[in-house]
Amino acid sequence: MRGESRRNVLAGLGAATIAVTAGCSVFDRSGEAEPPRLDTDEIERIVRDPVPETERPAPLQPDEASIEAGLERCAELIDAVPATITTEEIPNGVVREEVGSARESALDGREAVEDAPDRFRSLVALRNARADAREASVAYRAVGTDLHTEIEAERLAARGDVGARLARTSYAGDERDRTLLVAYRIEELLVDARRRMNWGSRPPDPGALDVGELAGDVEYAAATLDAVDALADRHASVAEEAVDFTATLESALESSLRAVSRADPPSRESTVEDVLGREPDRRDVRELAHEAIAPVRRWQQTLSTELSEGRLATGISRAIEVERDVRALEAVVDRIDGSLPEPDGSEPIRSERTAIVDAAEAAPISPDDRSLAGDLTARALERLAWIDRSLAGYVERGNDARLAREYAQYVHLRAQLEALPQAVEAVLARLDTR
Amino acid sequence: MPALHATRRHLLSGIAAGMVAPLAGCAAGEADDVDVRDEIRDPGSELPDGATTDIEIRSLRAPDEEPFVRVADEDEPEEEGPSRHRAQAFVLDDGDAAALRIDGDHDAAEEILRFVEATDFESASVVVHQRGIEACYERRVEYVELEPDRYRVQFCRQLKDATEHCEADATEIEAVFLRVPQPYDEEPSRRGSGERSACRHYGEESA
C-alpha cells in the first residue's frame, strides 16, 4: 500500500472540500475500463459451491403463551372477513379482490408463524400475520362506513406507545452479551414499527383500502409491542442476578465516538479521489471504492444519533460496524494499491467468495453466538447469500454479465468479515474497562 | 407483504402536492346527469411553474373501448363531416364546437355539447381527451400547463369508492372535456398529457 493512501484513510481528509451528492457516484466515468462479460457457465462456476444457510441468532425463546395469544388475535381478525366476499358486501371489484387478497396473505402469514423453526421467529412472524389480518378486517368493515378518524387516532396512540416503549428498553441482565443482543433486537423491532407507522403519506380522502392499510400498520405496532414485552419478560425471568449495563454502554459508546474520531475516517464530504489519491480507471475498482467508503462516511451521525436517542444496544452494534468498516476500508485501499486481480474470468471472483466462506469459518465468532458479534457474522453471511442470488439470477435468466459490482461486493464483504473480530474486540474492550 | 400494498405503492408514487379535481362525469347509457364542477381546489404550492387549476371540466364514460367523440378534421373533406376519433383534440372556435359529435345514446351528450358551444373562444379553448380507464378507477385532473403555443395536462387515477359497483378487470373509455383559459389560433405545436397511477395528496404527518 502506498503510504499516501493509508494516510488518507487513517489520518485526515480535512482538505477534502468537493461536494458529494448523497448516493451518487463522484467519479468521472469516461474512459473507464469495463471488465469482460462472463457467460452463464462462468457465472454458475462462481456460486457452484453452496454456502450453508444462516439465520441471525435468536436472542432467546419467548413463552409459548405469547405465540398462542398472537395466533388467537390473528384468527379473530381473519374470521371477521368472509372467505368469499359477495358483490353486495363490496360492490367495487378491485376493493373486493384486494380485501380477499389481504385475507389470503394473513392466512399465509399465520402458516408462516406455525411453521417457523422456533418461538422467537414465530413471534417475529406474527407481526405481519396480524397486520395483514387487521388490514383485511378493517378494510372490509370500512366499506360504506367512515372508520378513518377512529383508525388514525389509533395510529397516533400506537406511535406514542412505541416511542415510550423504546425509551424504556432495559439493559439489565446477567449475561452481558446476551443482554446486548436482546436489547438490540428489541430496539430494532420497535424502530421498524415506528418507521412503518411514520412511512408514507396519508391521502386526504382515504377509501376503505387506505383505512385498512392504516389499521394494518397499527396492528403491526401492537404486535411488535406484544413481541418486545414477551422477549423482555422472558429475559427478565431467566436472569438470576441481573446487572444494569446502562452506564457501561453509554460510556463505551462515548469512548467509541472518541476513538473513531481520532482515527479520522472519511467524512460525508470525502470523495473517492481523496481516499485513493486518484480516480480509479477500472469500473470494478470504482465500485469497490464506493462500496467500502459509503458505510464509513456517515459514521459520526450514525453513532451520535444512537447515543443521543438512547438506543444503546443499537449504538454498540453500530460502533462495531463502524470499527469494522474503517478497518475494511483500509484493507480495501491496500488491495487496490496492491494488485487486486481484474474480474476477467470466473476465477478471481470465485476466489473472493471462497475467501469469505473461509473467513467466516475461521472467525472466532460463530453466527450462532447469542451476541452482537454473532449477529453481525450472521448478517454478513446473509449478505453473501444476497450477492449469490444476484449471480444466480443471471444464470436463471440466461444472461451474460459484467460482474464488476458483484466482484466489488465480494471483495468488500471479505474485508468486512476479516476485520470483524478486531472490531468486536476493540468495542467490547471499552465495555470491559469501565 | 400485505396484499394491499400495491395500493399503498400507488398512493406513495404521487408525492405530496395537493388536491385534484375529480372529473365530473357519468357513464354513457346510464342516467347521466353531468356533474358540473367549475373549478378544482387549489392543489397547493407544489404545482409546476406556470401550471394552473383554473379549468372547467366535463366527462363522459362509455362501457366499451372505442372512442365515441368525434371532432372536425381539417384534412377531411368538409362535406363528409367530422369523423376523426382523436385521443386529444382541440376545439378552438365556434365552427369546431358546432362540428363536435358524440356517438351513442348519452343523456348527457346535449349538455356537454352546450358546454362546449358556450365557450368564449376569444379567451378560452376546449380540449377533448379520450382514453381508456379501468372500470373501478376514476380519472382526475391535477393541473394544466398553458402557454400560447403549448398545452399539457396532468391526469391521475384514483380508486372509486368501495360502494360503487364495478368489475375489477373491465375497462371503459372516457371522454374528458377541459375548458382552459388559453385561446389558441391553431393547435399548439407543443402539446401532451401525463397520467399518474395515483393522485397527489398532502403528505404531512397529522401529528
ipTM of the complex, rounded to two decimals:
0.78
Distant-in-sequence, close-in-space partners of A179: CB < 8 Å, separation ≥ 6: A171, A172, A173, A235, A239, A245
**For cell 378552438, what's the residue?**
B92
pLDDT band with cut points at 50, 70 and 90 for residue A257: very high
Question: B164: which 3 cell numbers?
Answer: 360503487
- Picking from B141, B115, B132, the residue whose alpha carbon sits closest to that of residue B62 is B132
- Looking at residue B28, its pLDDT comes to 38
Nearest chain A alpha carbon to B9: A200
Tell me, yes or no, if A162 comes closer than 8 A to chain B by beta carbon. Answer: no
Evaluate if residue B43 carries a pLDDT over 50.
no
3-state secondary structure of A180: helix
Q: Give tens-digit pLDDT for B70-116.
A: 886 655 554 444 455 678 899 999 999 999 999 887 788 899 999 99
Please tell me the predicted confidence (pLDDT) of residue A200.
60
* Residue B199 reports pLDDT greater than 90: no
Read off the pLDDT band of A419 (50, 70, 90): very high
Which residues 206-235 of A are in CB contact (within 8 Å) with B?
A: 207-210, 212-213, 216
Interchain contact, A135 vs B1, CB within 8 Å:
no
Q: Which of B136, B164, B201 sits opposite A203 (nearest CB)?
A: B201
Helix residue ranges, H only, chain B: 5-13, 94-99, 109-117
Residues in chain A within 8 Å Cβ distance of B166:
91-94
The answer to which of A4-18, A122-136, B82-96, B104-118 has the lowest mean pLDDT is A4-18
Residue A204: per-residue pLDDT: 64
Q: What is the mean pLDDT of residues A126-132?
A: 98
Out of B160, B202, B204, whose CB is closest to A92? B160
Question: What's the confidence (pLDDT) of residue A31?
Answer: 63
Q: What is the pLDDT of residue A72?
A: 98
List of chain B residues whose C-beta atoms are within 8 Å of the C-beta of residue A105:
1-3
> At residue B3, does pLDDT exceed 90?
no
Model confidence at B203: pLDDT above 80: no
Fill in the DSSP letter of residue A334.
Answer: H
Q: Which of A156, A203, A209 is nearest residue B207 as measured by Cβ atoms?
A: A156
Backbone angles phi, psi at B113, to 5 degrees: -65, -40
Question: What whole-number distance in Å separates Cα of residue B61 and Cα of residue B153?
Answer: 19
Mean pLDDT of chain A: 90
> Using one digit for the tens of pLDDT, what is the confidence trace for A340-395?
999 999 999 999 999 999 988 888 899 999 999 999 999 999 999 999 999 999 99
The secondary structure of residue B164, as a DSSP letter, is S
Q: Is B4 on the interface with A (CB under 8 A)?
A: yes
Q: Is the pLDDT of residue A50 over 70?
A: yes
CB contact under 8 A, A93 and B167: yes
Whether the pLDDT of residue A235 is over 60: the answer is yes
Domain ranges, ordered by start, for chain B: 5-196
- Nearest residue in B to A86, CA atom: B165
A132/B2 CB distance under 8 A? yes
Q: Global pTM?
A: 0.82
Closest CB to B4 among A93, A135, A202: A135
How is chain A split into domains, by residue range? 3-56+245-432, 64-244
pLDDT value at position B25? 45
What is the average per-residue pLDDT within B179-183?
Answer: 96
- Give the gap in angstroms from C-alpha B168 to the nearest C-alpha of chain A: 4
Q: What are A265-274's pLDDT values in tens digits?
A: 888 888 888 8
Q: Give the confidence band of A209 by pLDDT, cuts at 50, 70, 90.
A: very high
With bands split at pLDDT 50, 70 and 90, how would you rate the model's confidence at A202? Answer: low
A304 touches chain B (CB under 8 A): no
Residues of A in Cβ contact (< 8 Å) with B135? 93
Q: Would an 8 Å CB–CB cutoff place B9 in contact with chain A?
A: no
Do the chains contact at A135 and B8, CB–CB below 8 Å? no
Q: Confidence band (pLDDT; 50, 70, 90) for B197? A: confident
- The pLDDT of residue B75 is 52
Chain B 178-207, CB below 8 Å of chain A: which residues?
A: 199, 201-207
**What was the pLDDT predicted at B32?**
35
pLDDT (0 to 100) of residue A363: 82
In which band, very low, low, confident or very high, does the pLDDT at A16 lie, cut at 50, 70 and 90? very low
Residue A391 to residues A42, A54, A353, B57, Cα–Cα distance (Å): 10, 19, 12, 52
Chain A residue whose CA is closest to B167: A93
Mean pLDDT of A305-332: 95
